[in-house]
């Protein structure tokens, strides 16, 4: 009952004209960002963040969340019509979505993706609504050691769950931690790594680095390989987009299974929508009576990953709002944005700012309805956006980043910092160093240092405090396991390789 | 690519060493609590360890790090990346001297004319339209004060 009355209050907030407008702007931009190859939701949220300046935090988070889950919808358009994923979590959709388009079923592929996403999004929001307050009230019992353990788990999960070299992921995390250290130390007042400049005394702002690493890097990476997009011809009239009864029968259980899988994966730190879509595709293929149809235009191969990535995007909001620990790059950017707007995500949010939390939850329901309408009735409009020459889009992104970062402090130094990190991000990407852990560590770095100090103050300098408290002990053990996963993966791969050679 | 990987790993090790050494000049512990040098010491140390692991891996396995693969594919790709970077740097420099509107206008016109190979008319149209739109959204709606540039500041404009 409490939940329902809170939700009613949330709708009161979300349905205010300004919030409704920003929700609409968020989901429209989110769909466009999702549809445009190369720009992911984290880049989209970072680039469009300046539009929220001067707004209250509820309005800002409503728009940013709209961009996040809107991007999950938009990614399908390019996957199905161009055979290029709009963003990473739509990679699996490309496999069967494009094959469906080649068979003249592009409309149905887009329709089932949009409706599957809507169902997954709505169910996940219901779960979120009941789970989050419980988790938040449990998290109120967390002390500094638990937070240290939780943040360490977040960092190691990134190293354990992401593809590529774990050493490089850890290096990126350490780089982010180092950047968070730069500036005046709040305890001792000492200047740290400021290179004798006044500008660095206040430390690095999060926004120039995030916009550089996501926005400028994306532009440089996309102009390196400019490819004309060949859009598959498709009749996207409304009657061709709605799935037929047999399509529903084929996909209904896959959508439900992928929703729960996606939500759980989304809640886990470091996993996110991409892994959720991979797992759901793989599990549906395994469960299917006709696995041979996957990859040849199987509708379940579109419905499952799209439902999963949407559910994961809702799930990813759980650790952000209840624990104040983002589990993905996009939620890290959102957390940085909220901190800039003077709000500290965490368990106290539910007690101190119920209008913020429930306004966001209600806006997600509204956004989901807007998205399903947009992604069914207005697909041809979004396809037209894909026809805009890449040079124009790239130039506009650079201009947006420059103006946006400048607006932060009315300072051109921030723009220089953004450009430097844009180039650094491009080099990192080329060499396989992920940018997301850097941003995550930058956002959480000062909090980690502070809680570490508090923990050691409580224990009089003894590290045993992390192992004597049950929750932090479990979290630390899981963090260690996460760190060992890549090692175990490497050993298994080597054993398999050796076994293959001897056979 | 392999050479670039080796350079990067060396740079990381060097930066890690700098951070560790520099943090020795800051207090490690302060009244029983980690001091300002505590976190940076460990960050630097772990950076050295990870840098050495990556570097060592590249030395042990000669096929790792993408041997023979170019850092940027093709001269054209490299040219485009350099031109966008140079264009962005020029835009910020111009903004500092002549103001943001002129910086944005010249950047858009340059990108459209020389990279998108658009006609002069189209380049000028975008060069005027985009700064105007940004001015309306940011300067008017969001009340951001656009820089007018040193030159115009001196002229009192």
This prediction's pTM: 0.87
- Among A389, A392, A403, select the one facing B134 at the smallest CB separation: A403
Residues in B closer than 8 angstroms to A412, CB to CB, are 92, 95-96, 147
Residues in B closer than 8 angstroms to A341, CB to CB, are none
CA end-to-end distance (rounded Å), chain B: 50
pLDDT in tens, A443-479: 889 889 999 999 988 888 888 999 999 989 999 998 8
Burial A250-269 (b: 16+ CB within 10 A, else e): bbeebbebbbbbbbbbbbbb
User: Does the pLDDT value for residue A15 go beyond 90?
Assistant: yes
pLDDT at A90: 82
User: Does the pLDDT value for residue A161 go beyond 70?
Assistant: no
User: Does the pLDDT value for residue A187 go beyond 60?
Assistant: yes
CB atoms within 10 A of CB A399: 22
Beta bridge partners of B29: B34
Locate the chain A residue with the closest alpha carbon to B42: A174
CB contact under 8 A, A399 and B54: no
Which residue ranges of chain B lie beneath pLDDT 50?
none
Q: Whole-number mean pLDDT of chain A?
A: 87
Average pLDDT over residues A24-41: 86
Residues 76-135 of B with CB under 8 A from A: 77-78, 80-81, 84-85, 87-89, 91-92, 95-96, 100, 103-104, 107-108, 111-112, 115-116, 126, 130, 134
Chain B nearest-CA distance from A189, in A, is: 8
Beta bridge partners of A184: A191
Handedness of CA A93, A95, A101, A104 (dihedral sign): negative
Residues in B closer than 8 angstroms to A395, CB to CB, are 107-108, 111-112, 115-116, 126, 130
Residues in A closer than 8 angstroms to B138, CB to CB, are 50, 403, 407
* Secondary structure string (H, E, C) spanning B118-130: CCHHHHHHHHHHH
| Domains of chain B by residue range | 2-60, 74-153
pLDDT at A502: 57
CB contact under 8 A, B35 and A419: no
Q: What is d(CA A265, CA A272) in angstroms, rounded to the nearest whole number?
A: 6
Average pLDDT over residues A51-62: 87
pLDDT at B140: 85
CB contact under 8 A, A188 and B27: yes
Q: What is this model's ipTM?
A: 0.92
Instruction: Quote the tokens at residue A356.
Output: 């913020």
pLDDT at A1: 54
pLDDT at A205: 87
CB contact under 8 A, B54 and A53: no
Closest by CA position to A73, among listed A39, A27, A124: A27
- SS3 label, residue A123: helix
Instruction: Quote the tokens at residue A363.
Output: 């806006």
Of the pLDDT bands very low, low, confident and very high (cuts 50, 70, 90), residue A267 is confident
CB contact under 8 A, A181 and B39: yes
User: Does the pLDDT value for residue A419 go beyond 90?
Assistant: yes
pLDDT in tens, A36-46: 877 788 888 88
pLDDT at A162: 66
- Among A192, A406, A416, select the one facing B26 at the smallest CB separation: A192
Q: What is d(CA B7, CA B11) in angstroms, rounded to the nearest whole number?
A: 6
Burial A103-117 (b: 16+ CB within 10 A, else e): eebbbbbbbbbbbbb
């Amino acid at each position: 009952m409490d939940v329902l009355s809170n939700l009613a209050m949330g709708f009161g907030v979300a349905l205010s004209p300004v919030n409704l407008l920003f929700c609409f702007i968020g989901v429209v931009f989110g769909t466009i960002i999702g549809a445009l190859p190369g720009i992911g939701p984290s880049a989209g949220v970072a680039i469009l963040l300046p539009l929220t300046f001067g707004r209250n935090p509820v309005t800002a988070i409503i728009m940013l969340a709209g961009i996040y889950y809107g991007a999950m919808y938009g990614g399908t358009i390019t996957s199905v019509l161009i055979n290029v994923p709009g963003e990473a979590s739509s990679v699996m959709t490309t496999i069967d979505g494009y094959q469906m388009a080649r068979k003249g079923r592009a409309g149905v592929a887009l329709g089932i993706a949009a409706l599957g996403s809507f169902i997954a999004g709505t169910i996940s929001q219901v779960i979120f609504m009941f789970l989050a307050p419980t988790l938040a009230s449990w998290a109120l019992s967390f002390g500094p050691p638990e937070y240290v353990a939780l943040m360490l788990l977040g960092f190691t999960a990134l190293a354990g769950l992401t593809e590529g070299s774990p050493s490089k992921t850890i290096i990126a995390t350490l780089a982010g931690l180092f950047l968070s250290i730069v500036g005046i130390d709040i305890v001792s007042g000492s200047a740290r790594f400021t290179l004798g400049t006044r500008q660095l005394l206040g430390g690095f702002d999060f926004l120039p680095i995030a916009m550089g690493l996501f926005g400028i890097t994306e532009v440089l990476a996309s102009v390196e390989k400019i490819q004309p997009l060949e859009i598959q011809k498709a009749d996207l009239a409304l009657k061709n987009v709605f799935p037929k009864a047999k399509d529903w029968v084929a996909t209904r259980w896959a959508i439900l299974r992928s929703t729960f899988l996606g939500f759980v994966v989304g809640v886990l730190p470091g996993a996110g929508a991409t892994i959720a879509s991979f797992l759901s595709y793989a599990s549906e293929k395994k469960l299917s009576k006709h696995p041979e149809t996957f990859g040849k235009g199987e509708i379940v191969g579109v419905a499952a990953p799209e439902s999963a990535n949407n559910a994961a995007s809702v799930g990813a909001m759980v650790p952000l709002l209840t624990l104040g620990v983002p589990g993905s790059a996009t939620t890290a950017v959102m957390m940085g944005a909220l901190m800039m707007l003077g709000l500290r995500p965490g368990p106290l949010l539910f007690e101190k700012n119920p209008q913020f939390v429930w306004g966001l939850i209600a806006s997600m329901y509204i956004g989901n309805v807007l998205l399903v309408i947009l992604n069914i009735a207005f697909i041809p409009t979004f396809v037209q956006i894909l026809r805009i020459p890449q040079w124009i889009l790239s130039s506009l992104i650079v201009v947006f980043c420059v103006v946006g970062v400048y607006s932060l402090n009315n300072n051109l130094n921030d723009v220089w910092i953004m450009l430097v990190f844009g180039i650094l991000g491009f080099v990192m990407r080329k060499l396989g160093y992920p940018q997301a852990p850097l941003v995550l560590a930058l956002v959480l770095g000062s909090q980690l240092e502070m809680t570490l100090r508090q923990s050691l103050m409580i224990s009089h300098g003894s590290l045993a405090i992390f192992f004597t408290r049950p929750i932090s002990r479990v979290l630390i053990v899981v963090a260690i396991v996460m760190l060992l996963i890549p090692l175990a993966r490497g050993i298994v791969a080597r054993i398999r390789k050796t076994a293959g050679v001897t056979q | 690519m392999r050479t670039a990987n080796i350079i990067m790993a060396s740079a990381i090790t060097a930066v890690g060493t700098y951070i560790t050494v520099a943090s020795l000049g800051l207090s490690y512990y302060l009244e029983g609590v980690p001091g300002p040098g505590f976190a940076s010491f460990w960050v630097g140390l772990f950076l050295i360890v990870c840098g050495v692991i990556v570097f060592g891996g590249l030395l042990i396995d000669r096929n790792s790090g993408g041997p023979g693969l170019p850092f940027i594919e093709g001269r054209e790709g490299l040219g485009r990346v350099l031109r966008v970077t140079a264009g962005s740097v020029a835009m910020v420099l111009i903004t500092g001297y002549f103001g943001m509107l002129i910086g944005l206008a010249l950047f858009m016109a340059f990108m459209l004319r020389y990279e998108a190979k658009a006609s002069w008319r189209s380049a000028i149209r975008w060069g005027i339209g985009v700064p105007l739109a940004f001015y309306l959204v940011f300067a008017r709606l969001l009340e951001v004060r656009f820089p007018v540039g040193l030159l115009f500041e001196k002229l009192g404009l």
